[in-house]
Amino acid sequence: MTTPQQPRAQWLGRWGFVLAATGSAVGLGNIWKFPYITGEHGGGAFVLVYLACILAVGVPVMMTEIAFGRRGRGSPIDAVRRVVTESGRSSAWSLLGWLAMLAGFMILSFYVVVAGWSFSYLWKMLTGGLAGSGVDDMVAIFVANNENPLNLGFWSTLVVVLTMLIVGRGVQAGIERSVTWMMPGMVIMLLILIGYGMTSGGFGEAWRFLFSFDTGSLSSDGMLAALGHAFFTLSLASGAILTYGSYLPARASIVRTTFSVAMADTLVALMAGLAIFPVIFANGMDPGEGPGLIFMSLPLAFQAMPMGTLFGILFFVMLSMAALTSAISMVEATVSWLCDNKGLSRRAAAWGTGIVLWLISTMAMLSFNVGADWTLLGRHFFDWLDYLTSRWMMPLGGLGMVLLAGFVLKSETFRDELGLSPRWHALWLFMVRYVSPFGILVIFVDALGIARIEFGIHWPWLLAALALATLIGELASPRLRQALAG
């Protein structure tokens, strides 16, 4: 084994990584999307399918990314290059690292605009700027918030500045120290909001909405939603987890750490549902409004309830912290690469990255106001960033990473890093070779809108048949049977 270059710093312990990675995973999507799609697709039945998808796709891919990061001890580009060189493979595979790092930066370029909404609504809640008599008034406030480029630009800039201030202080003093109070603080605020929801009169309905086992409403679309969310919610294929993994101490168990992050992410998402939906149901509102649930319906609901302003402030503080922890993780890969390869100090790399990020995010922000007519093939700049990353770059990057780990690299590389017994290593290897790639491929095909081919054959079912045939063939392999037998 070659000795990889050590990073400048490491997490003080396993829980530093768990909190940071959970903060990366728990973003704005977890606060509204997971509870919403859970209720729409069968409640508890959907949760079980989602957990199965986490185990089949999310956990193996996350273990792989963390192992790449810790083995290579560098940014996604450097870590992948070092690991493939160790196995005697072409350094051209480091293009996967470039793809991950670029995807994370592009996501952050439009994410800071959405995060800016959270901070602007926190200010409006503090100053009484969310007063309205109905949903139409809240829609008007939301539209006005976006149509003013100076207003929207200010809050987006604030997110960039706060992110760079934290990242510029380093792994331990900046990222780890910030998440050690932001993540517990977020959980405490969620618990307070859940307690508030128990007194609102809608808690029982919210519980049934989230946890009733309505298998009849769990369609193939619901299964695809569970699969897609299981992949995207863990910040996979964006360079964040791989870079965080490069700071993980050698003594920490990658397996236990991965499962801790996956469980914490799911738990926070369900807690968010128990905090949000009691308020929504108590006020007779529609839980299926997507982003409008947070920025239109909830402010109106808080306004109508006793002590609603106080709990509205708590909610938007929590939402802002969730946005910030995700932003921190997505920029760290770029900052790490600049420090390792360009000889820049941590502060110089952070602020240099921040300037470029601010310029690109400003273009994304202008898509909502003065640049509303600037389109290419029917999409604004904001939409293009979202489309390219979520539908192309992340699925392709994740697919390439597991295929590289499963088929190209030496098996002992990950056996050493993961520390698994032969039986469990054989299971992990099977998952990253066949199950996870199949799941990511289904996500990719579905995201592109390729639903059917001629004769009405549904793509996911066709892929499932191919995967089943592969599974049977692999299980028939004497080598795998021997490994699984222990």
Helix/strand/coil (H/E/C) assignment for every residue in 23-50: HHHCCHHHHHHHHHHHHHCCEHHHHHHH
Stretch 234-253: mean pLDDT, rounded? Answer: 92
Q: Return the pLDDT at 229.
A: 87
* Residue 212 located in a structural domain: yes
Q: Which residue has the tokens 């008007």?
A: 140
Q: What share of the chain is helix, strand, coil (3-state, %, to 5)?
A: 80, 0, 20
Residue 457 has pLDDT above 60, yes or no: no
Q: Return the pLDDT at 30.
A: 81
- Residue type for position 82: R
Stretch 376-404: mean pLDDT, rounded? Answer: 92
At 167, is the pLDDT very low, low, confident or very high (cuts 50, 70, 90)? very high
pLDDT tens digits for range 11-50: 877 788 899 999 998 887 788 778 878 877 878 888 888 8
Q: Return the pLDDT at 479.
A: 54
Q: How many distinct structural domains can be found in the chain?
A: 1
Q: Return the pLDDT at 442.
A: 86
Stretch 299-327: mean pLDDT, rounded? Answer: 89
For 470, the enclosing helix (H) or strand (E) is helix 459-475
Q: Name residues whose C-beta falls within 8 Å of residue 245's C-beta, 6 or more positions apart in sequence.
A: 17, 65, 66, 67, 68, 69, 70, 254
Stretch 325-332: mean pLDDT, rounded? Answer: 94
At 468, is the pLDDT very low, low, confident or very high (cuts 50, 70, 90)? low
At 482, is the pLDDT very low, low, confident or very high (cuts 50, 70, 90)? low
Q: What percent of the chain has pLDDT above 70?
A: 89
Q: Return the pLDDT at 478.
A: 55
Q: Return the pLDDT at 111.
A: 95
Q: Residue 116's closest CA among 156, 162, 150?
A: 156
Q: How far apart are CA 125 and CA 303, in angstroms?
A: 10
pTM of the model: 0.89
Contact 396, 54 (CB under 8 A): no
* Residue 434 located in a structural domain: no
Q: How far is CA 408 from CA 66, 72, 87, 396, 462, in A?
A: 18, 16, 8, 16, 26
Q: Name residues whose C-beta falls within 8 Å of residue 110's C-beta, 6 or more positions apart in sequence.
A: 361, 364, 382, 385, 386
pLDDT tens digits for range 104-149: 999 999 999 999 999 999 999 999 888 776 778 888 898 899 999 9
At 258, is the pLDDT very low, low, confident or very high (cuts 50, 70, 90)? very high
Q: What percent of the chain has pLDDT above 90?
A: 52
Q: How far apart are CA 33 and CA 276, in angstroms?
A: 11
Exposure b/e, 381-400, CB count within 10 A at least 16 = b:
bbbbbbebbbbebbbbbbbb
Its domain, for residue 308, covers 14-419
Q: Name residues whose C-beta falls within 8 Å of residue 205's C-beta, 6 or more positions apart in sequence.
A: 277, 278, 281
* Residue 396 located in a structural domain: yes
128-132, 138-142, 251-255, 361-365: least confident range? 128-132
Residue 470 has pLDDT above 70, yes or no: no
The CB-based long-range contact list for 54-58 (8 Å cut-off, 24+ gap) reads: 54/230, 54/234, 54/262, 54/266, 56/431, 56/435, 56/436, 56/439, 57/227, 57/230, 57/231, 57/435, 57/436, 57/439, 57/440, 58/230, 58/231, 58/233, 58/234, 58/236, 58/262
Average pLDDT, the chain: 86
For 13, the enclosing helix (H) or strand (E) is none
Q: How far apart are CA 226 and CA 266, in angstroms?
A: 12
Q: Return the pLDDT at 92.
A: 93
Q: Which residue would you say has higher pLDDT here, 39 or 322? A: 322
* Residue 447 located in a structural domain: no
* Residue 445 located in a structural domain: no
At 477, is the pLDDT very low, low, confident or very high (cuts 50, 70, 90)? low
Contact 315, 298 (CB under 8 A): yes
Phi, psi of 348 (to 5 degrees): -65, -40
Rounded to 5 degrees, what angle do the CA atoms 221, 62, 347 make?
A: 120
Stretch 206-214: mean pLDDT, rounded? Answer: 85
Exposure b/e, 437-453, CB count within 10 A at least 16 = b:
bbbbbbbbbbbeeeeee
Q: Which residue would you say has higher pLDDT here, 116 or 296? A: 116
- 119 is written with which tokens? 């901070």
Residue 218 has pLDDT above 70, yes or no: yes
DSSP result, 263-304:
HHHHHHHHHHHHHHHHHHHHTT--S--THHIIIIIHHHHHHH
* Residue 482 located in a structural domain: no
CATH number at residue 131: 1.20.1740.10
Q: Residue 56's closest CA among 402, 408, 449, 483?
A: 402
Stretch 400-419: mean pLDDT, rounded? Answer: 90
Beta strands in 330-456 (DSSP E): none
Q: How far is CA 255 from CA 60, 64, 424, in A?
A: 9, 10, 11
Contact 311, 197 (CB under 8 A): no
88-102, 393-407, 458-472: least confident range? 458-472
At 1, is the pLDDT very low, low, confident or very high (cuts 50, 70, 90)? very low
Q: Which residue has the tokens 């990222």?
A: 175
Stretch 179-199: mean pLDDT, rounded? Answer: 91
Q: Return the pLDDT at 6.
A: 47
Q: How far is CA 260 from CA 18, 96, 155, 240, 257, in A?
A: 7, 26, 33, 17, 5
Stretch 359-378: mean pLDDT, rounded? Answer: 92
- Residue type for position 367: S
Q: How far apart are CA 313 and CA 480, in angstroms?
A: 55
* Residue 180 located in a structural domain: yes
* Residue 464 located in a structural domain: no
Q: Residue 32's closest CA among 233, 284, 314, 227?
A: 233
